[in-house]
Structure 1
Amino acid sequence: MNLKELADHLGLSPTTVSRALNGYPEVKEATRLRVQAAARAHNYTPNAWAKGLATGRAMSIGHVIPVSKTHEMVNPVFGDFITGASEAYVKTGYDLKLTLVSDADEAERYRSLSARGNIDGIILHGPHLSDRRIELLRTLDLPFVVHGRASEMKMDYSWIDMNNTRAFERATELLIELGHRRIALVNGQEHMDFAFRRREGFVAALIRAGIDPDPGLMRAGEMTEELGYRAASDMLQRPYPPTAFLASSMVTALGIRRALEGRGLRLGTDVSVITHDDDLGYLRNGTDVPIFTATRASVRDAGRQAAEMLLQMIRDPSCAPLQTLIEAELILGQSTGPAPG
């Protein structure tokens, strides 16, 4: 079934059907739902090329991924985000255009994508504290949404972010309530905005509880299993080792658990661990009962929301900037308990 046939079946004009399927705000909600239901029932999928001709759009969204020597962007978290974003694109007939570039070539790639006109918008990944890419994208005639924020940039732009500061405050407060005073942080790279905010929340909670932050109990780096293992192994050899760890990644928390098991320490009894990002597609935090206590915010859902925000900006440029702050849940698992006596 083509567009005209679907329109004839519904007794509507092809223009109305096209606008309903593309999310135009002037189409009544009842009409939109009716058209969408009919399209599903008749397995109608709009042709992206035809839609582009009809709307004057490229029907494609750009994701530019830097192949960095200091930060590996393509990881389990990124995979879940892209999956969520793709779900939103598929519903509206958009394609995802993924481009890998070196750090040095990233700015030029944004300019090239804008000049070619083969994408309708961009989602920016992995913002730093101060990020020149945001300044550049503001000068280009291209809608964009940042996954995260840049703390040192006061300009207005569209973003979606998890409340990293509050999530790590709550996690640290829980450990303090359990009697822990020597709490370690194994964080991501702290020139990245999310990691900076997590450290801020961790330190703020310690200071409010009258605990002096110990630089020797803080590590930062690429969030790998190896980082968790090496950081925990080093800290556990200290004269006064930590009784609890706070990890910025489920992958890092697995490394911490390996270090504990190698020393015969019991997770949640001898040493407590709280992790973040435990709700990943192929790396689950247990089944019925979570293994790790965790601060949880669905990365897949964040990807879907980011895509929906960008598509809304493409349809209605006057609605920008859009900004969404997601609060993390605190999930209790088997990895936390009272501080050992």
Structure 2
Amino acid sequence: MNLKKLSSLLGLSQTTVSRALNGYPEVSEATRQRVAEFAREMNYQPNRSAQRLATGKSLTIGHVVPVADHDMMNPHFIDFIAGAGEIYHRRGYDMLISVVSEDEQNRFYESLHRNKRVDGVIVHGPTVDDERVRLLNALGLPFVVHGRTKDPEESYSWVDVNNEEVFEKAAEYLLSLGHRRIGLINGWEFMTFAERRRAGYERALRKNGIKPVPELMYSNEMIEPNGHAAMLALLDLRDTPTAVLCSSVLTAMGAIRALRDRGLRPGDDVSMIGFDDCLSFLPSTGDGGLLTAYRSGIRLAGRQCADMLIDQIEGGGDNASLLLNAELSVGKSTRPLECATAAL
């Protein structure tokens, strides 16, 4: 069905129907709803090229992925894109993923804006001092940050997990089980999420009269081999930790492999908590599974960022923010210290 046929059945002009479908303010809300509902009933799919001409918009959302020593193209990113893609499809937008060198990022954002290739962008992997926020605000290009920076939080739109609180609670849970020497296998700490996670972990220790020990903390890219290497290093210490916090289920998998390499078992010998175990390529690890984890679905974050950005593109208005929570799912990898079956 084309626009002409749809307009005829509605008894409205093609111009009115087009404007109703594209959200023009001069069309009444009642007419807009009537047209939208009838279009859904008739399974009408608007012509994208015509929409772009009518609205002056590209109907495309940009994702700029920098090539660096750490790789954003990991399973977390893929799950995020899957969630965002669901919203783009539902709301009539396309997706543009561009992989650029790290030193070309700013010029590439400027090019996207100048050439009107996208209506907005989602910023990935924010660092503590991230110039992209200031650049995009100066350009006037709508954007949402997946995470936060040190810029004033009201100066941009963002969706984030309460990382500091989650890792404070995770450390407190291990402390409540009697553990006092707790390791941290973290992500890169020039990225804001990892800095906040370390801050939460350290705050929990200090609140319980325990001084944080640098030799128990590791910071690296969150991939399985790095979790394996960090856990081996922790096990080689003279005074080994009895529990470990991992910033990703991927590093937790590597840490578990390291324990098994040494003939040890998660939970029985070293308690372990992971984070972000809701990944599509892995079976659930919580609710009585192997890994105790704080759960915060990355796909959900993708949906939230996409909806927030499109609302901003279509409606304008003030910046928005959303702080997501994470829930503890207790598995077999945590036990009270006195229940340990082996002294390391």
- TM-score normalized by the length of structure 1: 0.92
TM alignment of 1:1-341, pairs within 5 A: 1-12=1-12, 14=14, 17-18=17-18, 21-22=21-22, 28=29, 32=33, 35-36=35-36, 38-69=38-69, 71-151=70-150, 156-286=155-285, 289-317=288-316, 319-340=317-338
Compute the displacement of 1:337 (Å). Answer: 1.0
- Give CA deviations for 1:84-120 in whole Å, capped at 9, x if unaligned: 1111111121100111100111110011111101211
Aligned-residue offset at 1:13: 5.0
**Offset at residue 82 of structure 1 (A):** 0.8
Residue pair 2:22, 2:55 contacting (<8 A) in 1 also: no
- Distance verdict in 2 for CA 1:152–1:287, change over 3 Å: closer
Code of the residue aligned with 1:277 in structure 2: it is D
> Could you give the per-residue CA deviations for residues 158-184 of structure 1, whole angstroms, max 9, x where no partner exists?
111111101111111111111111111
Distance 1:268 1:55, change over 3 A: same
Q: Give distance in 2, aligned partners of 1:39 and 1:279.
A: 36
Structure 1 distance, partners of 2:31, 2:162, is: 36
CA spacing shift, 1:229–1:27, aligned 2, 3 Å: farther
Contact kept? 1:148, 1:162, Cα under 8 Å:
yes
Number of corresponding residues = 338
Q: Structure 1 residues 189 and 287, CA, compared in 2 at 3 Å: closer, same or farther?
A: closer
Q: Which runs of 5+ in 2 are unaligned?
A: 340-344
Q: Counterparts of 1:194 and 1:107 in 2: how far apart (Å)?
A: 22
Cα contact 1:285–1:292 (8 A) shared by 2: no
TM-fit CA distance, 1:154: 6.4
Q: What is the CA-CA distance between 1:320 and the residue it aligns to?
A: 2.4
Unpaired runs of at least 5, structure 1: none
> Does the residue aligned with 1:100 lie in a helix, a strand or coil?
strand
Deviates more, 1:72-81 or 1:264-273: 264-273
Which amino acid is 1:339 matched to? L
Matched residue SS, 2:241: coil
- How many angstroms does 1:267 deviate by? 1.5
Partners of 1:112 and 1:270 in 2: CA distance: 54
Offset at 1:7? Answer: 3.6
CA distance in 2, matches of 1:23, 1:203: 49
Q: Percent identity?
A: 49
Aligned CA-pair RMSD: 2.2
Structure 2 distance, partners of 1:291, 1:217, is 23
Once the two structures are TM-superposed, the CA of residue 8 in structure 1 deviates from its matched residue by 3.4
The whole-number CA distance in structure 2 between the counterparts of 1:243 and 1:24 is 61
Please give the secondary structure, in 1, of the residue aligned with 2:337.
Answer: coil
Larger mean CA deviation between 151-160 and 230-239 belongs to 151-160
- Preserved CA contact (<8 Å) 2:181 2:241: yes
How far the C-alpha of 1:138 sits from its partner, in A, is 1.0
CA 1:151/1:235 → structure 2, altered by over 3 Å: closer, same or farther?
same
TM-score norm. by structure 2 comes to: 0.92
Assess if the C-alpha contact under 8 Å between 2:287 and 2:330 holds in 1: no
Listed one character per residue, the Cα deviations across residues 34-54 of structure 1 (whole Å, up to 9, x for unaligned) are 655544443322222111111
Separation in structure 2 between the aligned mates of residue 217 and residue 29 of structure 1, nearest angstrom? 62
Counterpart of 2:342?
none
Q: Deviations over 1:268-315 (max 9, x none)?
A: 121111111100111233486332111111111111111111111111
Tell me: CA distance 1:293–1:7, structure 2 relative to 1, closer, same or farther (3 Å).
Answer: farther
How far did residue 76 of structure 1 move? 0.6
Q: Deviations along 1:219-253, whole A, 9 cap, x unmatched?
A: 00011111111111111122221111110111100
Displacement of 1:12 in angstroms is 5.0
Which whole-Å CA distance do the structure 1 matches of 2:95 and 2:293 have between them?
31
